[in-house]
């Protein structure tokens, strides 16, 4: 039996989606889909474009997004997340944004998960992460090394 050789030009991955509770499917309030994504969903399910758009997506702040459902770990999650296995139930039909995620060799949510499990000494710990959006005001401050952008959180 030959041993697998990893060459320097092969990308290394430092996360394992099978050990994650699906942060990427759950903590974002929207998964934006394109017409191409809806076409892919229609083909995957064997339905028309219009039927796929109606069944699986919704309008959210001017964008077309995947529908969400109540989740047993997080507040809500993508409707296509298998809540038992925490895996994508439409893996081959998933949208482009899901195919590209995380877009690098590391996943920050997996790093947080591993860190917290190590710190707590408990492999069942799931840190609750929530993404929120705040208006920020950008200002430029003069410094010795040149101007630097400073962001001030808008208090509402």
Residue-range domain boundaries for the chain = 17-120
Chain segment 19-45, per-residue pLDDT in tens: 999 999 999 888 999 999 999 999 999
66 vs 148, residue with greater confidence:
66
**Cα→Cα distances 24→4, 28, 30, 58, 135, Å:** 30, 7, 10, 19, 23
**Cα→Cα distances 31→16, 36, 39, 85, Å:** 21, 14, 16, 20
pTM of the model: 0.76
* Mean pLDDT confidence for 114-142: 87
**pLDDT given at position 90:** 97
Of 12-26, 60-74, 132-146, the poorest mean pLDDT is in 132-146
pLDDT at 154 over 70: no
């Amino acid at each position: 039996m030959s041993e697998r050789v990893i060459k320097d030009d092969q990308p290394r991955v430092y996360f394992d989606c099978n050990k994650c509770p699906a942060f990427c499917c759950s903590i974002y309030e929207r998964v934006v889909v394109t017409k191409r994504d809806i076409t892919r969903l229609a083909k995957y399910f064997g339905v028309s474009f219009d039927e796929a758009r109606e069944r699986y997506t919704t309008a959210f702040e001017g964008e077309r997004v995947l529908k969400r459902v109540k989740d047993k770990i997080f507040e809500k999650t993508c409707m296509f997340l298998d809540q038992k296995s925490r895996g994508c139930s439409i893996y081959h039909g998933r949208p482009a944004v899901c195919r590209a995620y995380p877009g690098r060799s590391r996943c920050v949510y997996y790093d947080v998960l591993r860190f917290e499990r190590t710190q707590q000494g408990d492999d069942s710990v799931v840190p609750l992460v929530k993404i929120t959006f705040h208006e920020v005001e950008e200002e430029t401050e003069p410094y010795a090394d040149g101007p630097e952008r400073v962001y001030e959180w808008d208090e509402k």
